[in-house]
Structure 1
Amino acid sequence: MEYSIIWTLFFIGCAFIFFSYGKKIRKYQKIRKEQQIQYEDNREKYRHFTSELFDETPDEEMTHAVLFHIMGKEDKIFESDEIGNLIDVLTHSELLIYTIYQVELSLEGGRGSLHTFFIKEPYCTYRPYVKEAFEAVDCHEIAELMVAADKLATAIENDEEIDIDDGSDYGNYNFSDFTNALASALKTSGILLKAAKFIREHKDEFIDAEDKEENDE
């Protein structure tokens, strides 16, 4: 009898766990589906970034809107018969915002290393612009961090002895240290709103060309 009760309780417990787990899975799948739909909607919405749409976009969504617009430019390259690179069709201000995005992507959501940005395509394509990019959005401490990380990456590339600069905040950092410091700085810097401010100040470099012409008229 005890044996029967034990196994009955066991199966009841398994059924409860399965039901709870299945419920969480379905909830997660629903959220993922909604996020995917929202992603595709935004990608289409900002493919053409008009002056009117620019003005309607709130600051907290502005940086993402610009990134979706840049993705639209990338799509046009793939859809055309001409061979080209994304970096060749970006305005300078778009290039700076996209550089910051590439830095964040290289961290792989906290699972990667900042060293990846300096050595792996496509991230390293934007390496020459990284200092200017963070300075443009008033993140000067991050710009300083990236300059120091760039020096370490260069020393590793050239198989040079790494000089420890005791006068620098990053003098004895390795890339694990740089990665953690950057992840922390990005969380506290308010970079989304700072980037939005920069974007609004350079509106003509983010909206579609035909809208620029209308504004000039």
Structure 2
Amino acid sequence: MSWKILLVWVLFIAALMFLSYFFTKRVKMNKEIRKQIQTEEAARKQKYTYLKPGIFDECPREDVSAAALFHCIRKEDEDFDHYFENMNESEKVVYGIYQVGLTLQGQGASLHSFFLSPSTKPFVPIIVDIFEKVGSHELADLMRAARRFAEIIENDEDDDEDDPEMGDYSRYNFSDFTNEFATLVSTTNLNEKITNFILDHKEDFYDKYIPEKNEENGVDEDEGTSN
């Protein structure tokens, strides 16, 4: 083997060793970042599972929607069969938007799933009003048309371009609805509107009863009666 070929192999092996070291370091760094994010998320969930009166005046603005959401998730966990009836109107607004978002997670997700899933069925009749209440009129119009399109598919009806509920979306399919929803979420600043809605209705999210251990940032098994 000539020295030139040997040199090539040495450089090749050195490059592989460098890439292996870099990759291992990057994987370790990513794991540490994910662990940190999970730790921070767990801490936020612990902090906001119960919302004591006045907490929205203290928490960072970027935590407002997460705080309200953790509060709503806890109510569902406490009584899954009756959580919808136990929520007030403001809680239903926040949790309804969250439910729409859940149906759009994962590969091949479609807005159509929101109108088909038994778990989101209670929110379907009020979903247009939900987006109207946070001031997202464009998304309200989109959801009105999407809901009507879901009815057309379910009932095997003929498409009508003059259907008043379809509006400007008469030629849309659910792939179009899904893509348009994602676009409007970002372009209409939905997250900021949700935050403003929560702060305008913050009293609706405060818990009347908070377990003593939870107030001390501990874990309490007796969840008691809450707002």
Give the TM-score normalised by structure 2: 0.83
Question: Equivalents in 2 of 1:109, 1:55: separation in Å?
Answer: 35
2:180 is the alignment partner of 1:181: yes
Supply the distance in 2 between the matched residues of 1:16 and 1:124 (Cα, whole angstroms): 54
CA distance in 2, matches of 1:157, 1:45: 43
Deviations 1:41-79 (A, max 9, x none): 1111011101121221233321111001112223333xx
Deviations 1:131-172 (A, max 9, x none): 011000000010000000111111111122222349832110
- Structure 2 residue 50 is matched with structure 1 residue 48: yes
Aligned pairs for 1:33-72 (under 5 A) are: 33-72=35-74
Q: Identity over aligned residues, as a percent?
A: 37
Are residue 20 (structure 1) and residue 22 (structure 2) matched?
A: yes
Q: Corresponding residue for 2:94?
A: 97
**Runs of 5+ unmatched residues, structure 2:** 211-227
Hey, what does 2:119 align to over in structure 1? 122
Q: Given that residues 114 and 178 in structure 1 are in contact (C-alpha distance below 8 angstroms), is that contact kept between their aligned partners in structure 2?
A: yes
Report the equivalent of 2:128: 131
* Contact kept? 2:49, 2:67, Cα under 8 Å: no
Q: CA-atom RMSD, angstroms?
A: 2.1
1:127 to 1:48, Cα distance in 2 relative to 1, 3 A: same
Report Cα offsets for 1:179-215 as digits up to 9, x if no partner. Answer: 111101001222222112222222221100249xxxx
CA contact (8 A) 2:99 2:120 kept: yes
Aligned equivalent of 2:205:
206
Report which of the two has the higher share of helix: 1
Higher deviation after alignment, 200-209 or 183-192: 200-209
C-alpha separation between the residues in 2 aligned to 1:182 and 1:110?
A: 16
11-20 vs 90-99, greater mean Cα deviation = 11-20
Give the residue type in structure 1 aligned to 2:91. E
| SS of residue in 2 equivalent to 1:16 | helix
Q: What is the TM-score of this pair, normalised by structure 1?
A: 0.86
The corresponding residue for 2:109 is 112
Q: Could you tell me which amino acid in structure 2 is paired with residue 197 of structure 1?
A: N
Question: 1:131, 1:57 → 2: CA distance?
Answer: 29
Report if the CA contact (8 A) 2:50-2:71 is conserved. yes
d(CA) in 2 for partners of 1:38, 1:86 = 27
Counterpart residue identity of residue 197, structure 2:
F
Question: Is the CA contact (8 Å cut-off) linking 1:165 and 1:172 kept in structure 2?
Answer: no
Which residue number in structure 2 is paired with residue 32 of structure 1? 34
Q: Which residues of 2 match residues 140-159 of structure 1 at below 5 A?
A: 140-159=137-156
What 5-or-longer segments of structure 1 have no aligned partner? 78-82, 212-217
Matched to 1:187, the amino acid is: S
